[in-house]
Structure 1
């Protein structure tokens, strides 16, 4: 295959990824013009690619617009390589929710972001932006910091090099501050996030460690900053993480 062909294939793959990723939570169907606007892809190209995606079931036509197809859900179920982890963690997350009446999360790191594998929402918790399968910048979350604190140094530096944007009113955006906080998290085994991901939100997290001491994932409890006593829930979160770590293969 010549270099030009490889470049064309790479561009097509990138455009398909951009089109599928353009759908946001709450979106149903989107028109081609809106997809072109969100992705920056020329409208003619967006129209052609959405036609191909609809033909193979990755998108579905509805009127003059398209929506994500059921085939994506089927593929997604096959892609969940962490199914065993999710199943093992679910009863522990439910216990955390019942004990604290706040939202319990299970998340892992992918690139510079955390991906939420499971969420058990609490009755007294705020309406959080997190969702199963959703992503959030690692530096602005307690689960992200819990994982980074037990990850190789080059991974931490990759997160810092990618930028530390302000997400909430108190997000850590200074590399030095983040490094110092991660060192403390590594020592204590518990990470805290106080209005770093959003106004009025507090989160306490602890990592799930493998036999080498590296973080595989993290569990957390999130709630209102003026209601949740971080010191009171920290022991429950830490105990959950330690117990889960021992049960995982």
Structure 2
């Protein structure tokens, strides 16, 4: 997308550092964070200490590692606070999970990615259960494509100018092919992901509209490809669309 002179590259780098620490399996050294964030070590260390001073990271001087401070939860509180919309989505996920037996996820548009904010666990023993806060690129998942397909044309065109990452040999990273895929999504009312994000995993997603009629999120079901065949995904899609219509989304 076009560079905006009103934006601070330093702040963007700081968020990359913070996200790298948050995505880590445990405490991380400055070198590990720098590698994960794709930044120079000196820059990364300076930002880590600054974020620590702000109270959002803990620094262990003995091991020279950093980890997320619980204060981060205060920033997320408005997102996860109870309210009519959140309860409506929770009811939708619960009803869909009960009807399908599958784990259902709800993800929202966040910049040029999706972020998973709610889920309802199913009864399937073999299932794909993403963690709350998981972020994914729009073109590589069913829920991402379900959301992207209903964004303004200018947003879609800007997204197509990005260097789209390929996760498997089935990821749709070619702009022309992605345009065709988004057209199919709009016609079908749902989006598929046939091993596009991860080999052996299939998914289906349905967009969710807000009170203004805009698509800002979507519900999805993911699972092993040998169980979630195209035929099964079509069955799930019908149930998901029924439940979405029931809540008026």
TM-score tier, shorter chain, comes to: 0.7 to 0.9
Measured in 2, the distance between the counterparts of 1:190 and 1:15 equals 35
After TM superposition, give the deviation of residue 225 of structure 1 in Å.
1.7
Distance 1:74 1:84 in 2: 20
Residues 185, 191 of structure 2: 8 Å contact kept: yes
Deviation at 1:237, TM superposition (A): 0.9
**Cα drift, residue 122 of structure 1:** 3.0
Q: Which residue of 1 aligns with 2:53?
A: 55
* Distance in 1, Cα, partners of 2:234 & 2:140: 20
Larger radius of gyration: 1
Partner of 1:27: 25
- Over 3 Å counting, the alpha-carbon distance change for 1:147 and 1:37 in structure 2 is closer
- Which residue of 1 is the match for residue 141 of structure 2? 141
1:243 counterpart residue number: 246
Instruction: Give the CA deviation at 1:212.
Output: 5.8
Change in CA separation of 1:43 and 1:162 when aligned onto 2, cut-off 3 Å = closer
| Cα deviations by residue, 1:147-198 (Å, 9 ceiling, x for unpaired) | 1222211111122111332123421122222222221221221211111111
Q: Does 47-56 or 58-67 show the bigger shift?
A: 47-56
The answer to whether the aligner puts 1:195 opposite 2:195 as a matched pair is: yes
Deviations 1:175-234 (A, max 9, x none): 222222221221221211111111121111111124664312111222222212112111
- Output one character per residue of 1:81-119: Cα deviation in whole Å (capped at 9) or x when no partner: 896433221122122222222221111222321111212
Distance 1:120 1:30 in 2: 31
Q: In angstroms, what is the RMSD of aligned CA positions?
A: 2.8
User: Using a 3 Å threshold, how does the CA distance of structure 1 residues 140 and 43 change in structure 2: closer, same or farther?
Assistant: closer
1:1-249 alignment, distance < 5 Å: 10=8, 12-39=10-37, 41=39, 43-62=41-60, 63=62, 64-78=64-78, 84-124=84-124, 126=126, 128=128, 130-210=130-210, 213-228=213-228, 229-246=232-249
State TM-score, norm by structure 1: 0.82
Aligned-pair distance for 1:71?
Answer: 0.9
SS in 1 for 2:222: strand
Count, aligned residues: 240
Work out the CA distance in 2 between the residues paired with 1:154 and 1:82.
33
Distance in structure 2 (CA, Å) of the matches to 1:83 and 1:215: 19
Q: Structure 2 CA distance, aligned partners of 1:148 and 1:73? A: 28
Q: Mark the runs of 5 or more structure 1 residues left unpaired by the alignment.
A: 1-5
Contact 1:169 1:198 in 2 (8 A): no
Instruction: Indicate conservation of the 8 Å contact 1:167/1:196, yes or no.
Output: yes
* Residue aligned with 1:22, SS: helix
In 1, Cα distance between equivalents of 2:202 and 2:84: 28
* Greater mean deviation of Cα atoms: 210-219 or 229-238: 210-219
